[in-house]
Amino acid sequence: MIRHEYETIYVTRPDIESDKQARIDDKLKGIVENKGGELFMFEQWGKRKLAYPIRRSLQGSYQYMHYAAPADLPVELERNMNLEDSLIRYITVRLNENVDVDVVRAGAEAAQAERVQRLGLSLGAESADEGDQDDVTEDAKDTKDTKDAKDTKDTKDTKDTKDTKGAEGAGKAKKED
Amino acid sequence: MSRNKVNVERVMRARRRRRKSCPFCADKTIVIDYKDGKLLRRFITERGKIVPRRVSGVCARHQRGLALAIKRGRHIAFLPFLATE
């Protein structure tokens, strides 16, 4: 099966509850993983200021996915993104065509490190009011460490991490209120 | 007569202008990436327009990549379509 390397960024409204956010994240991650794709990285870039207001919102919550998938998967992904009312923007870019998934997976961490460094990402901890996002960065690091050891469990680890993060995020959000 | 003067000035200014070299050719490590708002902002005006390459000195090939990146960046609101002052 020919698979291509893609990245998708989607932006959700900043004011939605974290369980709703988690639901969207899980749904989209599930689509990638269950339809012949392989998710290398899922990153929470946190809340950022939008360069212009979108549906009255001045901020957006950015999520980034790096994956390999057959060409019809992004279509399905975008169809689902269109169904989400609180998802205000998305972009999918094909990074490389007909890739060897193992090779890309091997380089995914380095690519992430480079990306974080070059774009000055703080994987979520973008603004001061993002208490729950600090966990994301730490969790991501944990995932990385374990990854070296068990290569095949990569995506599963990431998924677990995200799940717990969603729960923690919910707890924190309540605290903030 | 006055028009003639303007022309002369323009020609002189043009002559004095140094040919800028493309920053992306000069430093091949720079990646033109639509996610990199900080980098792309250097190539849009305060109003948000893409700076023409005759001004920025970017070569044709890199200007194409740059224009695409800026347009993608605008779509996901990393960059403005237009900035109001």
Contacts with B74 from chain A: Cβ below 8 Å: 51
The pLDDT value given to residue A172: 39
CB contact under 8 A, A93 and B34: yes
Q: How far is CA A165 from CA A16, A21, A43, in A?
A: 16, 11, 12
Residue in A with minimal Cα distance to B82: A52
Question: What whole-number distance in Å separates Cα of residue B41 and Cα of residue B39?
Answer: 5
**CATH code at B31?**
4.10.640.10
Cβ distance A92 to A81 under 8 Å?
Answer: no
CA B82, distance to chain mean position in Å, is: 15
Cβ distance A44 to A11 under 8 Å?
Answer: no
The pLDDT value given to residue A119: 87
Does some domain include residue B12? no
The pLDDT value given to residue A13: 94
Question: What whole-number distance in Å separates Cα of residue B42 and Cα of residue B12?
Answer: 28
Lowest mean pLDDT among A161-165, B1-5, B62-66: A161-165
Q: Please give the ipTM for the structure prediction.
A: 0.73
The pLDDT value given to residue B16: 59
Pick B77's closest partner by Cβ from A54, A119, A120. Answer: A54
Does some domain include residue B36? yes
In angstroms, the separation between the Cα of residue B72 and the nearest Cα of chain A is 8
Express each pLDDT in B12-38 by its tens digit: 555 556 667 889 999 999 999 999 999
CB contact under 8 A, A51 and B77: yes
Question: What whole-number distance in Å separates Cα of residue A25 and Cα of residue A166?
Answer: 9
Per-residue pLDDT, averaged over A89-96, amounts to: 95
Does some domain include residue B39? yes
Range of the domain at B36: 20-85
In angstroms, the separation between the Cα of residue B50 and the nearest Cα of chain A is 15
Does some domain include residue B4? no
Q: Which of B47, B38, B45 is nearest to B82 (CA)?
A: B47
Contacts with B72 from chain A: Cβ below 8 Å: 91, 93
Does some domain include residue B26? yes
Does some domain include residue B43? yes
Does some domain include residue B31? yes
Question: What whole-number distance in Å separates Cα of residue A25 and Cα of residue A29?
Answer: 6
Highest mean pLDDT among A117-121, B29-33, B64-68: B64-68
**Whether pLDDT at A101 is above 70:** yes
Does some domain include residue B5? no
φ/ψ of residue A34, rounded to 5: -95, -10
Cβ neighbours for A88, distance < 8 A, ≥ 6 positions apart:
A11, A12, A13, A54, A55, A57, A60
Residue in B with minimal Cα distance to A7: B35
CB contact under 8 A, A60 and B77: yes
Domain boundaries, chain A: 4-176
Tally of structural domains, chain B: 1
Domain A4-176 belongs to what topology? Alpha-Beta Plaits (3.30.70)
